[in-house]
Amino acid sequence: MIKDITIGQYLPGDSFIHKLDPRVKILLAFLYIILIFLINNFYGYLVVIAFTLLVVMLAKIPIKYLFNGIKGVIWLIIFTAVLNATLTPGKVIFKLFNLIPFTDKGIDLALFMSMRLILLIVGTSVLTLTTSPISLTDGIERLLNPFKKIGVPAHELAMMMTIALRFIPTLLDETDKIMKAQMARGADFDSGGIIKKAKNLIPVLVPLFISAFRRADELALAMEARCYRGGENRTRMKQLKTDKRDYIAIAAFIAFSIICIISRRWR
Amino acid sequence: MPVKVENLTYVYMPNTPFEKKALDNINLEIKDGEFVGLIGHTGSGKSTLIQQLNGLLKPTFGKVYIDDISITDKGISLKSIRQKVGIVFQYPEHQLFEETVYKDIAFGPTNLGLTNEEIEKRVKRAMDFVGLDYETYKDRSPFELSGGQKRRVAIAGVLAMEPKVLILDEPTAGLDPKGRDEVLKQIKRMHKEYKMTIIMVTHSMDEVAQLADRLIVLDKGKIVIEGSPREVFNQIDTLEKIGLSVPQVKYLAKKLKEKGFNINEDIITLEEAKREILRLFKERKI
Ligand SMILES: Nc1ncnc2c1ncn2[C@@H]1O[C@H](COP(=O)(O)OP(=O)(O)OP(=O)(O)O)[C@@H](O)[C@H]1O
Ligand SMILES: [Mg+2]
C-alpha cells in the first residue's frame, strides 16, 4: 500500500543517461526547468516534448513510472488548470452551470500551465530515476562547493540530504510494519472523517517517531565510532569525472536550448 | 478447520523490476488446538505466509479459509477475521504507543467496540496470561519496562482480542535467556491450559522441538517438509541443504553413536537426551 509512493525513486540501469556525471545532469535539469517556463507557444512545446521523449527513451525508463509520478499530483494540475481557466480575464467562451466563466485566454493559460507542470515532473523524475541518491547528493555537494567561501555548509547539507534520502525507504518500511501490527489489533485506517482518521494515526505515529529517534541515535553513534568529522579534508572513494559522454550531452542540450529560444518567434 | 490454505501464491510488487515471488503454491491445514512450528531460512517466506492468514496481505492466487470462511470474499469483515486470528509480529514491543500498560493492551478490545467492563476483564485476563501482575503494572508506562516485560505487554495486547488462533513471529528474538524462557513458558501455558491453536515462527530448532506438535519447513516460498518434529528432524541432510539445522541434542546423539555408544538417535529435546544418557550410564553400570 504505502509502497506505491515513487517520489525520488531510483531505477538502476546503465543507459547513456544513467552514466552521465550527476553534476551535469543536475545542471541540465535545472536549465531544462527554466526553458520550460520560457516557451510561449505550442510549437515550442512540441520541441520540448520531443526532446523529453528522446531522453526518456535513451534512459530506458518504462513510461509507467512517469505516469505514476504524474498521477501523484494530478489533482494539483487539475486544480491550477481550473483556476487559470476561470480567473483569467478575457472573452468568456462558456459558463459551467451558467455560473463559472471559462475565458479564451484562461483556457490557453490553463493548457500551458498544465503542460509546464507535467514536463516539470517528467524532467525531474528522469533526473531522480536515473541518478542514485548517493551520486545525486554527491553532485549537489560539488556544485555547492564554490559557495563554501560565503559560508554555505555544502558538505553538511549534502550529508543531511543523503541521510534523509537513505531513511525514506526504511521509514516507509517501518510505517508499513507498524500499520500492519496495529491493524492486526483491529485498528482501521480507512474509514471515518478527517478528524477520526487523524486520530487513528496516533498508534502509528508514536511508534514511528520513537523508532526514527532510535535509528538517528544509532546512526550518529555508528558514524562517530568510525571517526566521522564533517567536511574538512575529506577525500572520496569515487571521484566525479566528466568525460566525452558528458560533453556530448551538454552539446545536445545547447542545441536544444537554441531551438527552444528560436521557437519563441514562431507564431 | 480453523485455518486452511489452498494453492496460495503471493508476489510482492508484481509487474515491476522488483517483482518477487515470496510464496509458491502453498497448501496447508491446521487443526483446532494444534501447535505448529513454522521454520525456514531467512527470506523463505515465513512472515509473508502468516500475514496472509488474517488478511493483511491478499493472495495473488489461491484461497485462505478461517473457520471455513474464505477471507478474501466480498462482504467479509476483516475485523472479525483479525479478532479470530491474532498475530504477534517480530519485535512487537516496537508497536507500543500508549501512556500506560493498561491503555496499550486495551487498544485491541476497544477497536472491537466492547464495553468498558468487558475491556477491563480482558486486559486483566491477558496480563495474567503473560504473567504480568495487573495491579503492579497497569499504570506504568510501557516504555520504562525491561525488554522482556515490554514484549509480554505487546503479546498481551494481541491476546486481549481473545483470538482462537495465535500466531507468533519469532517471539523470542533479541531477548536475553531469562526473557526468552519466560516468554516460552507463557506460550506453552496458553497452548496447554487454554487450548489455543498456535503457529510459531522461529529460528530456534530447540524451541520448536520442545513445543510444536507439527513442523512446517519453508524454503524459497515452498513447503519442503511437513511432519512431527521427530520426523522432520530425522531429515538432517535436507534441512542442512536449505540452511537449517536440527536440535543440538540430535548432533550430540549422532556423535555418541559414532563413538560406539548404543544411543537412540531419535531424541530431540533436552529432557529426552537426559533420559537416554542416564539409561546408558545405568546399562554400563558406571
Ligand atoms: N514488503 C516487501 N516488498 C518486497 N519484497 C519483500 C517484502 N517483504 C518481504 N519481501 C521478500 O519476500 C521474501 C520472503 O520474505 P519474508 O519476510 O516472508 O521472509 P522470512 O521467512 O520471514 O524471513 P526472516 O526469517 O528473515 O524473517 C524475501 O525474499 C523478501 O526479500
Ligand atoms: Mg520474518
The C-alpha cell 534441512 sits at B239
| Model pLDDT for residues B146-169, shown as the tens digit of each residue | 888 999 999 999 999 999 999 999
Question: SS3 letters for chain A?
Answer: CHHHCCCCCCCCCCCHHHHCCHHHHHHHHHHHHHHHHHCCCHHHHHHHHHHHHHHHHHHCCCHHHHHHHHHHCHHHHHHHHHHHHHHCCCCEEEEECCCEEEEHHHHHHHHHHHHHHHHHHHHHHHHHHHCCHHHHHHHHHHHHHHHHHHCCCHHHHHHHHHHHHHHHHHHHHHHHHHHHHHHHCCCCCCCCCHHHHHHHCHHHHHHHHHHHHHHHHHHHHHHHHCCCCCCCCCCCCCCCCCCHHHHHHHHHHHHHHHHHHHHCCCC
CA atoms within 13 A on the CB side of B183: 28
Cβ separation of B92 and A181 shorter than 8 Å?
A: yes
What residues pair up with B215 in beta bridges, in sequence order? B37, B227
| Model pLDDT for residues B163-179, shown as the tens digit of each residue | 999 999 999 998 888 88
3-state secondary structure of B217: strand
Which residues of chain B are in CATH 3.40.50.300 domains?
3-246
- The grid cell for A258 is 537554441
| Any B CB within 8 A of A76 CB | no
The protein residue with its alpha carbon nearest to ligand 1, atom 2, reads B12
| Model pLDDT for residues B10-23, shown as the tens digit of each residue | 999 888 778 899 99
- pLDDT on residue A7: 52
Question: SS3 letters for A79-113?
Answer: HHHHHHHHHCCCCEEEEECCCEEEEHHHHHHHHHH
**Range in A23-27, A45-49, A188-192, B106-110 with the lowest mean pLDDT:** A188-192
Which residues, judged by CB distance below 6 Å to any ligand atom, belong to the binding site of ligand 1? B 12-13, 20, 22, 40, 42-48
The protein residue with its alpha carbon nearest to ligand 1, atom 11, reads B22
- Kindly report the pTM of this predicted structure: 0.77
Cβ separation of A182 and B107 shorter than 8 Å?
A: yes
Q: Which atom of ligand 1 is nearest to the CA of B221?
A: 14
Confidence grade of residue A1 (pLDDT, cut at 50, 70, 90): very low
Give the residue numbers in B contacting A (CB under 8 Å), as ranges.
13, 17, 51, 54, 56, 79, 82-83, 86-87, 89, 92, 94-97, 107-108, 111-112, 143, 157-158, 161
Residue numbers in B near A169 (CB within 8 A): none
Task: Tell me, in angstroms, the distance from the centre of ligand 2 to residue A84's CA.
Answer: 51
Average pLDDT over all residues of chain B: 92
Residue numbers in B near A3 (CB within 8 A): 13
CATH 3.40.50.150 fits B3-246, yes or no: no
Task: Tell me, in angstroms, the distance from the centre of ligand 1 to residue B21's CA.
Answer: 10
Cβ < 5 A residues, ion ligand 2: B 47
The protein residue with its alpha carbon nearest to ligand 1, atom 17, reads B47
Which whole number is the average pLDDT over A181-208?
A: 88
Nearest to B111 among A181, A185, A211 (CB): A185
Task: Tell me, in angstroms, the distance from the centre of ligand 1 to residue B188's CA.
Answer: 27
Calculate the dihedral angle through the C-alpha atoms of A84, A87, A90, A96, rounding to the nearest 10 degrees: 90
| Model pLDDT for residues B58-80, shown as the tens digit of each residue | 999 999 999 999 998 888 888 88
Say how far apart CA B209 and CA B200 lie, in whole Å. Answer: 12
| Any B CB within 8 A of A207 CB | yes
> Percentage of chain B surpassing pLDDT 70?
99
Calculate the dihedral angle through the C-alpha atoms of A80, A81, A83, A84, rounding to the nearest 10 degrees: 110
Which of A64, A185, A189, A196 to probe by mutation at the B interface, max B CB count within 10 Å? A185
Say how far apart CA B221 and CA B61 lie, in whole Å. Answer: 14
> Percentage of chain A surpassing pLDDT 90?
28
Cβ separation of B89 and A184 shorter than 8 Å?
A: yes
Residue numbers in B near A182 (CB within 8 A): 95, 107
Non-local CB neighbours of A89 within 8 Å, separated by 6+ positions: A103, A105
Judge whether residue B210 has pLDDT over 50: yes
Task: Tell me, in angstroms, the distance from the centre of ligand 1 to residue B56's CA.
Answer: 14
Cβ separation of B56 and A183 shorter than 8 Å?
A: yes
Which whole number is the average pLDDT over A180-199?
A: 86
Say how far apart CA A231 and CA B174 lie, in whole Å. Answer: 37
Q: Do strands B20-30 and B3-12 pair parallel, antiparallel, or not at all (unpaired)?
A: antiparallel
Q: Name the residue among B98, B105, B65 with its Cα closest to residue B84.
A: B65
Q: Is the ipTM of this complex over 0.85?
A: yes
- pLDDT on residue A40: 82
- Cβ distance B171 to B151 under 8 Å? yes
Task: Tell me, in angstroms, the distance from the centre of ligand 2 to residue A172's CA.
Answer: 17
Higher pLDDT, A3 or A263: A263
Nearest to A185 among B13, B17, B158 (CB): B158
Q: Name the residue among B139, B209, B152, B141 with its Cα closest to residue B178.
A: B152
Residue numbers in B near A207 (CB within 8 A): 94-97
Cβ separation of A187 and B97 shorter than 8 Å?
A: no
- Cβ distance B217 to B224 under 8 Å? yes
Rounded to 5 degrees, what are φ and ψ at B120? -60, -40
Nearest to A186 among B13, B111, B143 (CB): B111
Nearest to B94 among A185, A186, A207 (CB): A207
Judge whether residue A3 has pLDDT over 60: no
The shortest C-alpha distance from A222 to chain B (Å) reads 20
- To the nearest 10 degrees (0 to 180), the angle between helices A104-130 and A22-38 is 180
What residues pair up with B218 in beta bridges, in sequence order? B40, B223
Non-local CB neighbours of B235 within 8 Å, separated by 6+ positions: B225
